[in-house]
């Protein structure tokens, strides 16, 4: 489609708003503020070492975030960009971020709105020093009515809403091109940043994930900690045409969930970061509110499925701002198969995974 025929993000949001004649426009303005933050982050990522963006925040005395993870310079810079783009517009009652222990209160000099924004400002930042794609993930919720009515400071509990109550979710991918993938509850659309105009243009309307796939993504180094249903699924994929599945699979792992999600959105696949026994105190690795829920909403709006392996992701009730959870998402038939294996677990020997079996050039 010629560039001049493509809708900008602003035009797209105006068309969506026309479906709701009573809408005030605050929702659209909030999404455009988020998009502005993503543009600023994309520019910072693009400069890399030339802009002094690489390395750990604090250098010799590297700082640690609430997750116990070392913060990269771009983690902190990206978090600041999200805050500065969204704290002044009067659309938000507050924000929550992976990089902040507690909810962010809107400064007193700015009006407060009726929405909550939660985000991971730079997902996959461990890849930034080696120039692998990273991204930002965000979710928009409605603030509780008493927050809207009273204008009180927000509490962590105000964010404790299941994924099904999200009003919008999206991510920005900072790769060979910068893309913004967005759902406002009416399908999934992807926009590519036009570097000449500085505008996001609609390039991938109404994305649908294939129901079947021959590709899966999982961190195989954790195989010794997997639960039996996950081991069963991966073993069957690795067995290929000669195994129970009767077809060959490819395995992928980028260690950037945004990049993994985007690949699956574009061509199908399944992603697993399940609960395991590596650290029994953690019910999973990924964060529910600003990673699993927004990605889950995008997947389901595109015809895929998102799950903990045991229950639908969109129905999980959060209990803390930085709650961790196991996550499986992607092509619907594969996710449903994994859920079925969790309902009907099969006992596996510890050494059953053929990926790590001993091999020899000589056979009896």
Domain segments of the chain: what residues?
3-204, 215-355
Instruction: Kindly tell me the burial class for residue 234, based on how many C-beta atoms sit within 10 Å of its own C-beta (0-12, 13-18, 19 or more).
Output: buried
Say if CB 37 and CB 88 are below 8 A apart.
no
Do the Cβ atoms of 307 and 331 come closer than 8 Å?
A: no
pLDDT in tens, the chain (364 residues): 555 578 999 999 999 888 877 777 899 999 999 999 999 999 999 988 887 766 675 554 456 656 556 678 899 999 999 999 999 999 999 999 999 999 999 999 999 999 999 999 999 888 888 888 999 999 999 999 999 999 999 999 999 999 999 999 999 999 999 999 999 999 999 999 999 999 999 999 999 999 999 999 999 999 999 999 999 999 999 999 999 999 999 999 998 999 999 999 999 999 999 999 998 888 899 999 999 999 999 999 999 999 999 999 999 999 999 999 999 999 999 999 999 999 985 654 544 555 555 444 444 4
Q: Which CATH number fits domain 215-355: 3.40.50.460, 3.90.105.10, 3.30.110.70, 3.40.190.80?
A: 3.40.190.80
Contacts of residue 216, defined as CB under 8 A and 6 or more positions apart, other chains included, come to: 234, 237, 249, 250, 251, 252, 269, 270, 271, 272, 334
Residue written as tokens 């980028």?
A: 254
Are 167 and 173 a contacting pair, CB within 8 Å? no
* Per-residue confidence (pLDDT) for residue 192, from 0 to 100: 98
Query: Parallel, antiparallel, or unpaired for β 168-174 and 104-105?
Result: unpaired
Top-tier CATH class for 3-204: alpha beta
Question: Which residues are CB-contacts of 355 (< 8 A; sequence separation ≥ 6)?
Answer: 220, 223, 234, 238
**How far is it, in rounded angstroms, from Cα 294 to Cα 157?**
18
pTM comes to 0.90
Closest CA to 37 of 155, 103, 122, 143: 122
CA distance 40 to 20: 30
- The number of C-alpha atoms within 13 Å of 265 and in the hemisphere containing its C-beta is 30
In 160-308, the DSSP E strands lie at 168-174, 178-183, 188-194, 199-204, 215-217, 250-252, 270-273, 286-287, 305-307
- At 27 the three-state DSSP class reads helix
């Amino acid at each position: 489609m010629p560039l001049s025929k493509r809708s900008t993000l602003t035009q797209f949001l105006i068309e969506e708003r026309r479906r709701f004649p009573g809408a005030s426009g605050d929702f659209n303005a909030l999404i455009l503020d988020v998009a502005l933050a993503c543009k600023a982050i994309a520019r910072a990522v693009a400069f890399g070492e030339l802009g002094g963006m690489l390395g750990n925040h604090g250098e010799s005395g590297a700082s640690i975030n609430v997750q116990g993870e070392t913060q990269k310079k771009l983690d902190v810079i990206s978090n600041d960009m999200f805050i500065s783009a969204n704290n002044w517009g009067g659309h938000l009652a507050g924000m929550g971020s992976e990089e902040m222990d507690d909810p962010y209160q809107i400064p007193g000099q700015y009006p407060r709105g009726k929405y909550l924004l939660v985000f991971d400002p730079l997902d996959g930042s461990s890849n930034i020093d080696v120039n692998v794609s990273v991204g930002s993930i965000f979710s928009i919720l409605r603030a509780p009515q008493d927050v809207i009515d009273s204008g009180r400071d927000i509490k962590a509990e105000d964010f404790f809403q299941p994924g099904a109550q999200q009003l919008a979710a999206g991510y920005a991918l900072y790769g060979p091109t910068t893309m913004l993938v967005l759902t406002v509850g009416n399908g999934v659309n992807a926009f590519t940043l036009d570097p000449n105009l500085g505008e996001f243009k609609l390039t991938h309307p109404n994305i649908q994930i294939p129901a079947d796939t021959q590709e899966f993504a999982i961190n195989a180094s954790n195989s010794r900690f997997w639960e039996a249903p996950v081991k069963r699924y991966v073993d069957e994929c690795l067995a290929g045409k000669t195994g129970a599945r009767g077809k060959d699979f490819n395995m992928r792992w980028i260690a950037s969930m945004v990049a993994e999600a985007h690949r699956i959105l574009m061509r199908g696949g399944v992603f697993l970061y399940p609960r395991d026994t590596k650290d029994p105190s953690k019910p999973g690795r990924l964060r529910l509110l600003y990673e699993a829920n927004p990605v889950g909403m995008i997947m389901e709006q595109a015809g895929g499925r998102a799950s903990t392996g045991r229950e639908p992701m969109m129905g999980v009730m959060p209990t803390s701002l930085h709650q961790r959870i196991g996550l499986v998402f992607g092509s619907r038939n594969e996710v449903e198969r994994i859920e079925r294996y969790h309902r009907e677990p099969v006992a596996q020997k510890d050494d059953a995974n053929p990926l790590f079996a001993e091999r020899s050039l000589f056979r009896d």
